[in-house]
Structure 1
Amino acid sequence: MYLILKCPGCSTFTYVDKYSPQRLCPQCGEIIDVADATIYLEVADYRLAESIIAELKKYLTAQKRKDLTDEEREQIRKEYAEWMKQALINPEKANDSNDMSKIIES
């Protein structure tokens, strides 16, 4: 499992193994204390984390914003949970990254 979070120093999205206490920011080199970081989402696979981070960057750039609202973070978590539930029922749908990008855009 991986946690998607944001560097408090440079605001770059990154991900970290769920059990890792710290993460070195790949952009600015700051040590991110996972316990103090805002967790955006918990995902099962690092490739999915990378895909979601790309969609988050794209969404925020299009919206000309630096961060999601609390409501948007909660909505993404709910929609991701529903997406995972559907993926368990229909595994071939789990490989459809377009579905995940729709979650970010909504």
Structure 2
Amino acid sequence: MDEKKLKAIKDELLKLIDKKSSVQVEKVDRYINLVRSYYLLDAAIEEHGVMITTENGAQRFTKPNPAIAEKNKVNSSLIALGKDLGLDTLVERGSRSTISDLI
């Protein structure tokens, strides 16, 4: 994901929080960092594939790319942090934005 899109997400998130609260600003920064990590993992999966081959001495076996599990963990963290930031209430308030719009 390019930095321009990340900045747009950050700007939108900053509109939704109390910018005077260092804690809330830190949460937005962590959210952006997680989004960046999510897309880096996505790129790694694209580059190396869903399945990878591992060689261990004479043994050779195929296993799922570990980046997939890490991407799922990052996604769970994004959802939890999004709820903490109150992004889940955007849908409840009838806003046109949804949490997935911010990713």
* TM-score, normalised with respect to structure 2: 0.32
Question: As a proportion of its length, which structure holds more helix?
Answer: 2
* TM-score, normalised with respect to structure 1: 0.32
Point out the structure with max Rg over C-alpha: 2
